[in-house]
Structure formats: C-alpha cells, structure tokens
C-alpha cells in the first residue's frame, strides 16, 4: 500500500494521510452525531412521546460509537473489545428503532394511550 505524505512547513517533518484519516473521521462523526442528537432531543421536547425518546436513545448510540473509536485509537480499549462494543451498539440501535416504530404504531397519537 502506498503512503501519501503531507508536509506541514519547513523542518516540521511529514505526517501520513493514514495518520490523519481516523482522527478526522472521528471528529466529523462526533460533530455530526452531536448535531443529530441535538435535533432529536429538540423533537422529543416538542412531542414528549415514548417513540421520540427511543429515537433519541438510538441516535445516542452513534455518539457512543464515536467515543468507542476514540478510546480504541488512544489505545485505552483493546481492538477486540472495540469491535465487540461497536457490534453491540449496532444491535442496541436496531432494537431501539424497532421499539420506536412499534410504540408509534400501537399508541393513539391524540391521547398517547393504547389503541383499542
């Protein structure tokens, strides 16, 4: 695999693109996750329904995945545990989203109670 080098000023050496790629992706993912979770919290604050709360929790798993990525990159979390945690968070997200759809379909939107 070829390695591309970026040069930052004279005498400062060089940094490989691979070295910058993961931190850059994690910063972008973390920022996007914070924005999306913030929007979801705002929607939940307006609707105050169980489905919206479950969606907020599901989207928080995206932010948790970013934290797991940072921990692994900083060598605070072993690679195997990182892999396991990311798959577990994927499963949690899926369950939360399925539950949100289920509760959205089984409650009366006007009263918030169970449908007959």
Question: Where along the chain do its domains lie?
Answer: 25-106
pTM: 0.73
**pLDDT at position 6, please?**
45
What is the per-residue pLDDT across 33-87, written as a single tens digit (0 to 9) for each?
A: 999 999 999 999 999 999 999 999 999 999 999 999 999 988 898 988 999 999 9
Q: Is pLDDT at 110 greater than 80 in this prediction?
A: no
**For all residues of the chain together, what is the average pLDDT?**
83
With a cut of 70, say whether residue 108 has pLDDT above it: no
3-state secondary structure of 96: helix
How many Å apart are CA 54 and CA 47, to the nearest integer?
A: 12
**CB-count exposure of residue 54 (10 Å: 0-12, 13-18, 19+):** buried
């Amino acid at each position: 695999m070829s390695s591309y080098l970026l040069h930052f000023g004279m005498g400062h050496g060089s940094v490989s693109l691979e070295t910058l790629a993961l931190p850059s992706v994690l910063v972008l993912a973390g920022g996007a996750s914070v924005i999306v979770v913030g929007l979801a919290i705002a929607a939940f604050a307006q609707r105050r329904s169980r489905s919206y709360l479950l969606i907020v929790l599901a989207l928080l798993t995206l932010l948790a995945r970013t934290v797991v990525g940072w921990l692994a990159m900083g060598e605070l979390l072993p690679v195997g545990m990182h892999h396991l945690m990311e798959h577990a968070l994927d499963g949690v997200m899926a369950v939360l989203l399925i539950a949100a759809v289920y509760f959205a379909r089984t409650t009366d939107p006007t009263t918030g109670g169970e449908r007959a």
